[in-house]
Amino acid sequence: MDSYSLHDLSRRRDNLSPCRVGGTALSATLGLVALGCALLVASGAAWAVNKYYTLGDIVIGNVWAAETPGDAKTGAVYFKLANGGTEGDYLISASTPVAAKAELHAHRIVGNSMQMRPIMGVALGAKQKYTLKPGGTHVMLMGLKRPLNDGDSFPMTLMFKSAGSVQINVRVGLPSGVSGSTRRPKDLKSYRR
């Protein structure tokens, strides 16, 4: 049986630095986006991601990004990691030409809102797996240079502390096991409680 209990750096307070951008409107927007993506993951199937990337003993697969509206400045990328080796490693950064910046982020619930925070990295123990998913750890794309349209793809480079870097291809749209729309609503005001 596979073990999914990894020690994500997001659980250590000293490795977190709060995302300090704009107030309750941003918190509400990010919370609703994360909630919407989480609900999408809970539904049916759309397209399968069969491409896997290897870097030594590390395998990266099921790579996808949610579609964004034309004026969106942020997006998110999700994927699965597996380490078949006897030594642990850390995913420490990501970069892509479609965004000014890519950061590893994690969510946490504070009161009635979900807060997103950048993290230093994700620990990937020996013989273990980790999933970057909506509502959890993900790669946050900031300063998008173009919309992420369903069916498009773009390159992304992942950097690991020990294994080095690998370029992957990110497909925009829904992964296997998910149905519905990945497009975020343009007017999030109508979704406020």
Numbers of helices and strands, H then E, in the chain: 1, 11
Radius of gyration of the CA atoms of the chain, in A = 16
Which has the higher per-residue pLDDT, 129 or 50? Answer: 129
pTM, whole model, 2 decimals?
0.68
Distance, CA of 32 to CA of 36 (rounded, Å): 6
| Range with the poorest average pLDDT among 42-46, 64-68, 101-105, 135-139 | 42-46
111-130 burial: b if 16+ Cβ within 10 Å, else e: eeebbbbbbbbbbbbeebbb
HSE (CB half, 13 Å, CA atoms) of 186? 4
Question: How distant, in Å, are the alpha carbons of 107, 119, 136, 174 from that of 133?
Answer: 10, 15, 5, 12
Confidence band (pLDDT; 50, 70, 90) for 109? confident
pLDDT in tens, 8-33: 333 333 333 333 344 444 444 444 44
Q: How far apart are CA 122 and CA 105, in angstroms?
A: 10
**Could you tell me what percent of the chain has a pLDDT over 90?**
56
At 110, the pLDDT band (50, 70, 90 cuts) reads: confident
Q: Which domains are seen in the chain, by residue range?
A: 9-175 (2.60.40.1890)
When the pLDDT of each residue in the chain is averaged and rounded to a whole number, the result is 76
- pLDDT reported for residue 11: 39
DSSP state of 119: B
CA distance 186 to 98: 20
Residues 114-132 pLDDT 10s:
889 999 999 999 999 999 9
pLDDT value for 159: 99
Query: 4: helix, coil or strand?
Result: coil
Could you give the CA distance from residue 43 to residue 88 in angstroms, rounded to a whole number? Answer: 33
Residue 36, pLDDT > 70, answer no
Q: What is the DSSP pairing of strand 164-172 with strand 58-65? A: parallel
Tens-place pLDDT, residues 154-180: 999 999 999 999 999 999 998 755 555
CA distance 56 to 132: 20
Give the single-character DSSP code of 137: S
Q: Which of 68, 58, 115 is nearest to 92 (CA)?
A: 58
Across the range 37-47, mean pLDDT stands at: 37
